[in-house]
């Protein structure tokens, strides 16, 4: 069933974009604002992003507040609604990754009050996985005990995979929270403990044939590739791409600086939200940096690019606006040269 859904979404979001006339979209590389400025709204500091089958956009607010929101916009960026997310045991509800599941569910990751104590202590572990009915507004916690739950992926059996950036793990669970298990705790997923925020495993995505799981390691400026073994087991992990190595070999700077959310196009190029560089960077299947996209004239400006997701050849991404009080909060879109893998 999930396989059939994935293929139908490929035909809707990918193949139609291939057939669309060139004049239907702005030039490749164009970045424009979709939602306008979200500062001062329920949607301030948007981090995670997801799409439904009609291309409606959902994002969660990462503001450190007792009540935050998941916001829904139509495909053109017009605000539709927001659903409040009340705090759990952590007292605040900043949201990171979000993931849509038909017909009306958005899963969301609440990292709670993790930042209230030194991150290296990992002492709070009050992060939660939430199931949110966007029609009724009912919020149901399905899993807890995370330090810094950050990114979502889904396999063809409908199971969810959640990165924990502080613990350096990937946890798998069913959509009701049952079957919860640490899928991988490979040392390559661990963070560099020295920066102020030791963000390890972050963005997460399967490749086209679900043969590998790719994970960004933010503080190490790396993309990790994990073989998917029989029965969806975690196999060998290796460094697929290393930012400092790319800079040295290709004569670039800031490669994978703040590597956050990731997603693939149909030819296996990996699009990375490099949040500290305020860019979308593209890695080839051979881990070469082949493109980097930014728009210094964007209003609101590109500010802590966080989470990318494809709809055809449109790459939507959030501007988290992390260090400036949210004044550049927005969802923007990049016109990519190729369609991407549709969201599962």
Total number of domains in the chain: 1
Question: Does some domain include residue 155?
Answer: yes
Question: Does some domain include residue 246?
Answer: yes
Residues 6+ apart with CB under 8 A from 76: 34
pLDDT tens-digit map of 98-107: 999 999 999 9
**Closest residue by Cα to residue 1 from 158, 153, 152, 131:** 158
Residue linked to tokens 């939602």 = 35
Q: Could you list the residue range(s) of the whole structural domain that residue 150 is in?
A: 2-335
Question: Does some domain include residue 205?
Answer: yes
Provide the whole-model pTM.
0.93
* Cβ pair 68, 115 in contact under 8 A: no
Question: Does some domain include residue 51?
Answer: yes
Percent residues over pLDDT 90 in the chain: 85
Point out the residues of the chain with pLDDT beneath 50. Answer: 1, 4-6, 9, 13-23
* Cβ pair 72, 81 in contact under 8 A: yes
How many whole angstroms separate alpha carbon 145 and alpha carbon 143?
7
Question: Does some domain include residue 343?
Answer: no
Question: Does some domain include residue 208?
Answer: yes
CA trace torsion 20, 21, 27, 32 (10° rounding):
-50
CA distances from 70 to 48, 95, 162, 286 (A): 10, 8, 18, 36
CATH code, domain carrying 28: 2.120.10.30
Question: Does some domain include residue 20?
Answer: yes
Question: Does some domain include residue 187?
Answer: yes
CA distances from 131 to 62, 101, 218, 300 (A): 17, 10, 26, 31
pLDDT tens-digit map of 250-303: 999 999 999 999 999 999 999 999 999 999 999 999 999 999 999 999 999 999
């Amino acid at each position: 069933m999930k396989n059939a859904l994935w293929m139908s979404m490929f035909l809707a979001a990918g193949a139609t974009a291939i057939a669309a006339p060139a004049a239907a979209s702005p030039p490749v590389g164009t970045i424009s604002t979709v939602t306008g400025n979200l500062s001062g709204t329920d949607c301030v500091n948007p981090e995670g992003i997801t799409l439904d089958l009609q291309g409606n956009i959902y994002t969660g607010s990462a503001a450190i507040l007792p009540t935050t929101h998941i916001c829904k916009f139509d495909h053109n960026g017009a605000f539709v609604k927001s659903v409040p997310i009340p705090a759990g045991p952590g007292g605040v509800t900043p949201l990171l990754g979000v993931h849509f599941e038909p017909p009306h569910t958005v899963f969301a990751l609440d990292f709670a009050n993790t930042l209230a104590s030194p991150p290296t202590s990992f002492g709070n572990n009050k992060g939660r996985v939430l199931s949110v009915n966007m029609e009724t507004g009912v919020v149901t916690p399905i899993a807890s005990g995370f330090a810094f739950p950050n990114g979502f992926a889904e396999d063809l059996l409908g199971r969810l995979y959640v990165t924990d950036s502080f613990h350096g793990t990937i946890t798998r669970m069913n959509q009701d929270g049952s079957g919860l298990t640490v899928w991988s705790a490979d040392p390559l997923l661990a963070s560099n403990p020295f920066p102020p925020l030791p963000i390890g495993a972050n963005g997460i995505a399967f490749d086209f044939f679900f043969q590998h799981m790719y994970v960004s390691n933010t503080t190490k400026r790396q993309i990790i590739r994990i073989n998917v073994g029989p029965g969806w087991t975690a196999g060998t992990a290796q460094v697929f791409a290393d930012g400092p190595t790319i800079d040295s070999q290709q004569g670039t700077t800031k490669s994978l600086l703040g590597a956050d959310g990731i997603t693939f196009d149909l030819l296996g190029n990996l699009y990375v939200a490099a949040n500290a560089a305020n860019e979308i960077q593209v890695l080839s299947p051979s881990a070469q940096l082949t493109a980097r996209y930014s728009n210094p004239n964007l209003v609101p400006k590109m500010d802590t690019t966080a989470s990318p997701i494809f709809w055809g050849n449109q790459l939507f991404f959030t501007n988290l606006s992390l260090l400036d009080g949210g004044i550049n909060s927005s969802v923007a879109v990049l016109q990519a040269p190729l369609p991407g893998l549709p969201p599962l």
